[in-house]
Each structure stands twice: as structure tokens, then as C-alpha cells.
Amino acid sequence: MKWSRKEDDAVAKALIEAGITVLGIEVEPEPQATSEVQPAHTSATPTLSERMLELAELHHEGILSDQEFSDAKVKLLSGL
């Protein structure tokens, strides 16, 4: 089965939302898109969504097994 980056993004977003819901974390709504170009995220530390996307990509590429992917998600979300 072949996945696209768009599908990976959708899966990662769903996992993040599920983790937030399970942990009962209140999140501020994302600002509405504007016509102004936003600067790229320049922080040295990746965001939660960036880490989740990275894990999903590693799993998709076969670098992480199903169990390793699951464990990494739990560890990442437990650090919130």
C-alpha cells in the first residue's frame, strides 16, 4: 500500500488530536489563514506536530516497526 505525504499529514493530525483529547489538554484554536505569508517555524526544537509527522514518516518508510511507532507516540504524548 502506497501512502502520500498528504495522507501521512492527515494521520499525524488525527493522532495528535486523539492524544490531546485523551490527555484532556486544552488547546487554543489555530488562527485563521491570512493572505500574509507566515515565516517558517525557526525554533531549534521541533513542535509536537513536527515530531508526530517525523514519526509517521519513519514508520511509513519501515524504519520504525508498528510497536516502535506506537511506543514513540506514547512517549511523545506523555511528555505534554
**What does the pLDDT look like over 18-41, one tens digit per residue?**
777 777 766 666 666 666 666 665
- pLDDT average, residue stretch 33-51: 71
Q: Tell whether pTM > 0.75.
A: no
Cell of 32: 485563521
Report the 10 Å Cβ neighbour count for 77.
Answer: 19
What CA–CA distance (Å, rounded) separates 17 from 77?
A: 11
Task: Share the mean pLDDT of the chain.
Answer: 77
Residue 20: the pLDDT is 74
Residue 11: the pLDDT is 80
- pLDDT average, residue stretch 35-54: 75
Tell me if 12 sits within 8 A of 49, measured CB to CB.
yes
